[in-house]
Amino acid sequence: MTQFSFDPFVIDDNANNNISGRGGTIASSGRVTSRTSRKNPGTTTTATTTTGSTLHSTSNSIPTNTTSKLPARLNVSLVLHEEVSSTASMESNNESSTTSKLEIEGKVVARIESSNANDNTPFCLVVSGSMISLANIKYSDHATLLGDDDRTHDNSTTAAKDLRCKVHIPKSELAGCEILSYNSNTRTQNMPMLVQSKMAVKSTTCRMSIQIRSNLSNKGDISNLTIIVAIPNTLRGETVHVTRGKQGVWDATKRIVTWKIGTLPHGESCLVSAEAEVSSTVANLMLEPQYDAKKVIKEKVRCPVLVRCSSEVDQVSDLRLSAVALPDVPTNIARVNQVTSYRILHRV
């Protein structure tokens, strides 16, 4: 029988040789020594001295890479601006009801702040609102319409379908870029301001009064408000006099009176007026017994009113914007900041 100077079945805790066994693997390393049996000189016995061991459970192995990639964090800024030209018109069956015919040209600009240092993750822009069915929308190279544009484009639409587009803005566009533009012709009674003009005559003097009221549904003030009244030839230019509104200035060359009001606070109103003598021709008509003086003024003296104003917090159309994650692109949209503005040229 071979004699061992150590017990080969005792494994030192520091062994590092690999010994396979049921339920685990023992990794160990050490030195290998050879001994020659005294009883059998021709027999060589090999023994291993272990210096360390490590036990790994094959049934509960731990993967080497457990870190998953987190979705990109996005801060989206959407800016909507509208240029509006509108004309007031009275309803044929109701003179007290005034609607405005609108021509709107708008654009949407988007800017992205992304946690991805290499590229901006795309997102989905949702456009909604009742006026969307009448709008002609053009998409830039940074926006792609998702699905078909199956809007009806008629006034019978009661529930307009939302539009969705994929927006991808390059990292190089630090200041943002335009993603879509639109134009629309429509009518509305919900203008940001209400404009009322009135003509009154006393003897041969005609007074023109214009009142501007800020709509209570506005989010903020009306800015850069300017009121312009054109004086027709049926009024004597040399007799024009501003009676209310210290900002009023008469321009004899252009035959206009201009009031630069500036800011009109939310929900408030302003009143301006001017007067002038009627021309000799109109004065003679007013003296004729078969003519009514008020009717003569209404037919012969017409002073068109032009109102210019703007806002940095409101819009004229009812288009609404929202940013959401695309279904197939993991994205964390942390914040969406929206800014709306308009500039109006309104005729009465």
The answer to whether position 44 is within a domain reads yes
Give the tens place of pLDDT for each residue, 80-116: 999 999 999 876 555 556 899 999 999 999 999 999 8
Q: Distance between CA atoms of 328 and 68, rounded to whole angstroms?
A: 17
Query: Is 153 in the same domain as 221?
Result: no
In a domain, residue 67? The reply is no
Same domain for 126 and 112, yes or no, is yes
Lowest mean pLDDT among 55-64, 67-76, 160-169, 334-343: 55-64
Report the pLDDT value the prediction gives residue 93, as an integer from 0 to 100: 54
Residue 290's pLDDT band (cuts 50, 70, 90): confident
Q: What is the pLDDT of residue 148?
A: 72
Phi, psi of 148 (to 5 degrees): -95, 150
- Asked whether residue 346 is domain-assigned, the answer is no
For the segment 308-328, what is each residue's pLDDT rounded down to a tens digit? 999 999 999 999 999 999 999
Residues 107 and 55 in one domain: no
Residue range 227-251, pLDDT digits in tens: 999 999 999 999 999 999 988 999 9
Shared-domain flag, residues 250 and 269: yes
Q: Which residues form the domain of 41?
A: 1-62
pLDDT at 341 over 90: yes
**pLDDT at residue 295 in the model:** 87
Q: Is residue 280 part of a domain?
A: yes
- Residues 218 and 294 both lie in one domain: yes
CA dist 32 and 340 (Å) reads: 82
pLDDT tens-digit series, residues 20-39: 444 444 344 444 444 544 44
Do 184 and 124 reside in the same domain of the chain? Answer: yes
270: CATH = 2.60.40.1170
Give the pLDDT confidence score for residue 192 in this predicted structure: 95
In terms of domains, do 184 and 230 share one? no
- The domain total for the chain is 3
Task: Identify the pLDDT of residue 191.
Answer: 94
Residues 80 and 182 in one domain: yes
106 located within any domain: yes
Q: Are residues 215 and 306 in the same domain?
A: yes
Whether residue 215 has pLDDT greater than 70:
yes
Report the sign of the C-alpha dihedral through residues 273, 279, 282, 283, in that order: positive
Q: How confident is the model at residue 269 (pLDDT cuts 50, 70, 90)?
A: very high
Residue after which a domain boundary falls, among 13, 39, 62:
62
- Reported pTM: 0.74
Q: Are residues 54 and 129 in the same domain?
A: no
> Based on the domain organization, do 182 and 330 belong to the same domain?
yes
Six-digit token string for 277: 């003598």
The pLDDT assigned to 92 comes to 53
- pLDDT of 49 reads 43
